[in-house]
Structure 1
Amino acid sequence: MNDLWIRKASFHVAGKTINYPDLHFDFKVDFDDDPEPSTAEVKIYNLSKDTISKLKKGTPCILNAGYQSNSGSIFTGGIITSKTTWSGVDKITTVTMGDGAAEWMKTKVSKTFKQNTRASQVIRGVIGLFGLEVGEIQLEKDVIYKKGKVVHGPLQRELRHIVVNDCKSKLLITNSVISIRPKSKGVITGFVLNSDTGLVGTPEQMDSEDADYSVTCLLNHRIREDSLVRIESRTVTGNFRVVKGNHDGSSWHTKMEVKAV
């Protein structure tokens, strides 16, 4: 636990690496289990004019965060906007970012599949047209299109219809990787959150159909939407799936909403 107090972060953009704490910056990375690509924001203090001039829309970027001996990527994507303002003597550059797959998902697709084609074949065929990375494809119901299947329209809309409506599954886009799995399934992490491993305070029960508890822990770059974690606290002990949350660089916490599994 000792090294969990030695914070470490880096922002890689436009051929440059901005290291924390050498240069101060805050960040917030949101994540959830809906089909919309993730977003993030970084506020960097007192950047040089040269670096600011290179923060153009679409520029690829990677944000890493964690601790001295345990840090990793919490966001990979591209710049949406960059704005610089002054607060007293500080020059603050705010960079908003979107997942790298977001633009591809807006691209229109038009492809016809023959009779008796499975949904999994359609999904792989459509995604393969754009060279997008696929993490996994596990369908609750791999339907067969006996009359064939016509896919025509924005990629994200068409994929969502097939995955969610036809196959009763969920579509996730994380760090430019597309994953598809049954709604109740998650990613096995082996994480146990308790007072010795970074759990902050006690989980708070939620009045929601989507999540059972709100949980806060020390920033953990490996926790994402759909992570399966075990929580051990005075108020609740059990296994849960992360529904949504964020990595917060101002508090250096990972905040999440979880549902029992």
Structure 2
Amino acid sequence: MPRFNRDYRLLVGHPGQKGVEIVPPMRITFEADKDTKEEPNATKIRIWNLARDTREAMEEPDTVAALYAGYAEEDGPLLLAYGTVAEAWTYFDGPDVVTELEVLDGYAEIRDTVVSLGYGPGARASTVARDLARQMGLRLNMAADVPDRVWQNGYSYYGAARVALHKIVQGTGLEWSIQNGELQIIPRLGTTPRQAFVLAADSGLIGYPERMRKGAREKARVKDQRSGDNKDIVSVKQQIDGWRVKSLLLPTLNPGDLVKLESRTIEGWFRIEALHHTGDWGGPGDWQTELELVDRNAPPRKKKGSK
């Protein structure tokens, strides 16, 4: 089914209170960058020609924003980005007044949550993760079969919740991030328990996949077995080897999700390493998603006759 009728809904306000709602025909643009790192995902939203009281309400400190976007022909606007409004300001652009928001997913929860944890012998990382999510006020997205670290002598901690999260995934082969107000804990290079998505020409794929290869961000120091000297090597696990693809806007996909890519040149199962949503309602800009896909198992299967 063709998807031409773009739709969006933007809610901004204090948690638990009625806030400001922005809907068409107000012009907005957005850029949302998401990955599986521990730092908050960032979304930049611009809105044109708001009334003064609406602008002032959006510029109040510690508001939260929920951006829904999509196509009227399908399910309408779906949750694309959520988080604390870290910065908000208004400026003039010719005859227009533009309000800009910088939204950081999990920013307030990471910044403000201090926890006190104490567990007896046999404490499990999964138990600590559930308690951390509860104290941070976040939903937990964690598969039941993820590797589980055990502290035979018990576990205790007092301090920032983000430090506790980092500690419990160390040595367990896990990674944590916050996606749309949800604490996500999955195996490193693994995928979420959400249903896999098939990305093909009839489900939004635009053009052809582009080969992507990134070097490691840092080198791993190891000791040479013969000389005993330390030297730098690049770990294969630190490198990103996969594909960059573009599609029509896919608001429900998040980093860590499993995707089956079906194109004329490549077919295989991939993990979403990162994605970039862009949208322009009321202007000439795109309404698209760009994805970085990583093959976490075997090399992708090239189709016969492709180069």
May I ask how many residue pairs the two structures share in their alignment?
257
SS at match of 1:160: helix
Letter in 1 for 2:205: L
Gaps of 5+ in 1: none
SS at match of 1:159: helix
**Contact in 1 for aligned 2:20/2:57 (Cα 8 Å):** no
Give aligned-pair identity as a percent.
Answer: 28
Higher strand share: 1
Query: Counterpart of 2:274?
Result: 244
**Contact in 2 for aligned 1:139/1:168 (Cα 8 Å):** no
Q: Distance in 1 between matches of 2:122 and 2:130?
A: 15
SS at match of 1:158: helix
**Contact in 2 for aligned 1:65/1:221 (Cα 8 Å):** yes
**Contact in 2 for aligned 1:12/1:18 (Cα 8 Å):** yes
From 71, 77, 82, the counterpart of 2:88: 82
Is it true that 1:206 corresponds to 2:236 in the alignment? no
TM-score, structure 1 as length reference = 0.91
Query: Counterpart of 1:259?
Result: 294
Query: Counterpart of 2:300?
Result: none
Q: Distance in 1 between matches of 2:48 and 2:135?
A: 41
From 221, 232, 245, the counterpart of 2:262: 232
**Contact in 2 for aligned 1:35/1:172 (Cα 8 Å):** yes
Query: Counterpart of 2:123?
Result: 117
Query: Counterpart of 1:108?
Result: 114
SS at match of 1:189: coil
How far did residue 135 of structure 1 move? 2.2
SS at match of 1:57: coil
Is it true that 1:61 corresponds to 2:65 in the alignment? yes
How far did residue 158 of structure 1 move? 1.4
How far did residue 234 of structure 1 move? 2.3
Is it true that 1:28 corresponds to 2:58 in the alignment? no
Gaps of 5+ in 2: 14-18, 215-238, 280-284, 297-307
Is it true that 1:180 corresponds to 2:174 in the alignment? no
SS at match of 2:240: coil
**Contact in 1 for aligned 2:125/2:168 (Cα 8 Å):** yes
SS at match of 1:27: strand
Q: Distance in 2 between matches of 1:247 and 1:136?
A: 24
Deviations 1:163-221 (A, max 9, x none): 1x131101121111112121232134342222222111111001122240111100011
SS at match of 1:104: helix
How far did residue 138 of structure 1 move? 4.5
How far did residue 72 of structure 1 move? 0.2
**Contact in 2 for aligned 1:139/1:180 (Cα 8 Å):** no
From 28, 41, 45, the counterpart of 1:42: 45
Greater alpha carbon shift after TM alignment, 77-86 vs 108-117: 108-117
Query: Counterpart of 2:249?
Result: 219
SS at match of 1:5: coil
Relative to structure 1, is the Cα distance of residues 36 and 139 closer, same or farther in structure 2, using a 3 angstrom cutoff? farther
Query: Counterpart of 1:11?
Result: 10
Query: Counterpart of 2:159?
Result: 153
Deviations 1:133-186 (A, max 9, x none): 2122556431221121122221111111211x1311011211111121212321
Q: Distance in 2 between matches of 1:11 and 1:126?
A: 29
TM-score, structure 2 as length reference = 0.78
Greater alpha carbon shift after TM alignment, 121-130 vs 26-35: 121-130
